[in-house]
Amino acid sequence: MTEESDTMLDVYDEQSEQRSFSLDDSSSSEESPKHTRLSLETVNDAIPYIGQRFATHDAAYDFYSHFAKGCGFSIRRHRTEGKDGVGKGITRRYFVCHRAGNTPIKVSSETKPQRNRKSSRCGCQAYMRISRCTEMGLSEWRVTGFAIHHNHELLEPNQMMRLMELEKGVEPGYLPFTEKDVRNLIQSSRRVEQDDENIDLLRMCRNLKEKDPNFRYEFTTALNGRLENIAWSYASAVQSYEIFGDAVVFDTTHRLNAFDMPLGIWVGMNNYGMPCFFGCVLLREDNIGAFSWALKVFLKFMNGKTPQTILTDQNLCLKEAIAIEMPTTKHALCIWFIVAKFPSWFNAVLGERYNDWKAEFYRLYSLGTTEEFEHGWSEMIDRFGLHSNRHITNLFTSRTLWALPFLRSHFFAGMTTSGLSKAINAFIQRFLNAQTRLAHFIEQAAVAVDFRDQAAEQQTMQQNLQNICLKTGAPMEAHAAAILTPYAFCKLQDEFVMAAHYASFQVEESCFVVRHHTKIDGGRKVDWDSREEFVSCSCHMFEFSGILCRHALRVLSTINCFQIPDRYLPLRWRRMNSLVSKHSTDEALVEQNERFQALQSMLSTLVSEATKSKERLDIAFEEISELLTRIRGVPPSGLGSRNGVHRIAR
């Protein structure tokens, strides 16, 4: 990889010299932040970015409107905050895509019936937010929020032409430019200093590799020598994947619009219920070949370990690529990507019945069995008259890829919930919104990942210090509380509480039926093998989430189990000190475990003392950040190493 990237950079260097452009000059560390901001604003201000400045809010609106037209959508003013009368005038403005929001349904009256016209609004989330700032008596507006992703198709050049003709009030064909001019303008804006961007991007990757040998990246070039695809991951991401790579989200719904490049992001969930980053890929095209390359490289980064499950958008090319490159991995569709399209699919079709239909969809989505789902789906179609709706037909055809009744026998780590989708999107937006140049993008991604790692460490520390409150007093509950993270234990504790409401009936030597105490029939089938300490429930909750269900817990209680069998306290949901203990097989690692416990005690004291004042907290953050930098500079020995443990020199 190093030789290939060096060769690639050498080729670009030669091209740069012919253009009287120095690669070293472009990435000089001596360049001041002020100079960098100037170069960005004068060269790459085609795309909004956080911190961008405008003299007036009208100037910001004009800029965003110009950007929108180039991308194929139009905008409108949404809302303002801090209006006159509060005392400070308008302090914040939102500009949104013209398809943002949902049009309220007009209620017809007997005296004056009204017609509900088809609305173009579909809940699009693309927006730009500006806030007024005052420095040294001068007022200006800065971009404080920006989302570029749309949940609908954008306009083609011919549609843009018609839109501008209507806006200018001219007859078709009388604009001072042609459709070809518009297409050329879009293509040129997407190729802003493309060669220079490729140089900077590869330079950035090589610099990261030199600083951290465990940083990983791969790329391909086209026949003309241009950079085609590039993927990268960080050492911390590879380490996280080793434990938490059983379930993966591969989000390919974003694009770097300035370069018309699809962006793919691999994300998982750690043992504290927080998103963890695994890797990124930029592709020139979103076809089967490109996705196959991306998946191959990702598995190479992760030392050949394939995930048990992978969640994606409804991309047919990606589906084919996964079938080829990950044949043993269960592929499913992210429900939040599907639901995000509902407003544009069904709002106008269903009108005032849209919310009722959506509630019924969620009920069917969460049913327990496939038979219940298919029967309920048929009734839903009849009730809402959707027999000929193509979206409903496609959803039913692909039901095995998204409906929970068809997925519960596979492990998804809780990543089918809408709450996690919001957390993942918030994480992605941290570096997606700041895109201006490719090299800056990969650098910003590294910052965002580091920020997420630090946030995860902080939350881990805080949760480890929490006092767990037992609700049932059962020995099994206390046993689980000592091993699982608070996030996982709270989910298991909910099942402990509910288990008390269920009755178990032994129907065979190793088989039980468990049902709610108010029911006289039905229930779940639970199998128990005392020799192997194996328990299995027909609800498949453990297989789906790694958390034992109330039915299995009720049976374990019935047979006088006082500790949960080890296999039902999965490694991926355990506290970090439990992970160390799990791997402790010799004296050196036992000693490491003891030091780990001592470190936790010191951290507890640190948190207690640092939170007593803002000054103490600032000092703690500064010192801990420096300490983390030093620690990450020491190569890890691995938990299973028999060569002792690295000590950090003072």
Distance of CA 574 to the CA centre of its chain: 23
- SS3 of residue 540 by DSSP: coil
Express each pLDDT in 600-621 by its tens digit.
567 767 776 777 787 887 788 7
Which pair of structure tokens corresponds to residue 371?
A: 């038979």
Q: Are 50 and 133 in contact (CB under 8 A)?
A: no
Distances (CA, A) of 504 to 232, 410, 559, 627: 51, 26, 10, 54
The residues, any chain, with a CB within 8 Å of residue 443's CB and separated by 6 or more, are 204
DSSP state letters, 590-623:
HHHHHHHHHHHHHHHHHHHHHTT-HHHHHHHHHH
Q: Are 364 and 380 in contact (CB under 8 A)?
A: yes
- Check residue 23 and give its pLDDT: 27
The residues, any chain, with a CB within 8 Å of residue 300's CB and separated by 6 or more, are 218
- SS3 of residue 35 by DSSP: helix
For helices 179-190 and 157-168, give the axis angle rounded to 10 degrees: 120
Q: HEC profile for 68-102?
A: HHHHCCCEEEEEEECCCCCCCCCCEEEEEECCCCC
- Check residue 629 and give its pLDDT: 73
CA angle 258, 186, 159 (to 5 degrees): 120
Residue 56 carries which side chain, given as an amino acid letter?
T
pLDDT along the chain (650 residues), means of 10: 49 37 29 28 54 87 85 82 56 88 60 57 85 80 82 68 70 69 59 59 82 89 82 90 94 73 89 88 90 96 96 93 96 91 90 94 93 96 94 95 95 82 70 57 66 58 66 91 91 95 93 94 93 93 95 95 93 73 45 59 70 79 78 60 35
Which pair of structure tokens corresponds to residue 152?
A: 């609908």
Strand 127-135 to 92-97 pairing: antiparallel
Residue linked to tokens 């989430």: 545
Q: Where are the beta strands (DSSP E) in 324-411?
A: 330-333
Distance (Å, whole) CA 80 – CA 95 = 9
Strand 309-312 to 247-256 pairing: parallel
The arrangement of strands across the sheet holding 216-221 comes to 216-221, 227-233, 275-282, 261-269, 247-256, 309-312, 330-333
Q: Where are the beta strands (DSSP E) in 257-345?
A: 261-269, 275-282, 309-312, 330-333
Distance (Å, whole) CA 163 – CA 154 = 12
Q: Are 282 and 230 in contact (CB under 8 A)?
A: yes
Which pair of structure tokens corresponds to residue 421?
A: 């989708």
Strand 92-97 to 227-233 pairing: unpaired
Residue 172 carries which side chain, given as an amino acid letter?
P
Distance of CA 175 to the CA centre of its chain: 43
The arrangement of strands across the sheet holding 502-508 comes to 502-508, 511-516, 524-529, 534-537
Distance (Å, whole) CA 545 – CA 539 = 11
- Check residue 344 and give its pLDDT: 87
Q: Are 275 and 414 in contact (CB under 8 A)?
A: no
- Check residue 109 and give its pLDDT: 52
Handedness of CA 386, 387, 388, 391 (dihedral sign): positive
The residue among 331, 296, 320 whose CA lies nearest residue 412 is 331
No. of helices (H) and no. of strands (E), the chain: 24, 16
Which pair of structure tokens corresponds to residue 355?
A: 């919310």
Residue linked to tokens 């434990």: 243
Residue 225 carries which side chain, given as an amino acid letter?
G
Q: Are 639 and 583 in contact (CB under 8 A)?
A: yes
The residue among 411, 427, 418, 421 whose CA lies nearest residue 276 is 427
The Cβ of residue 184 has, within 10 Å, a number of other Cβ atoms equal to: 13
Measure the N-to-C terminal CA separation of the chain; round to a whole number of Å: 35
Q: Are 70 and 46 in contact (CB under 8 A)?
A: yes
Residue 537 carries which side chain, given as an amino acid letter?
C
Distance (Å, whole) CA 342 – CA 345 = 5
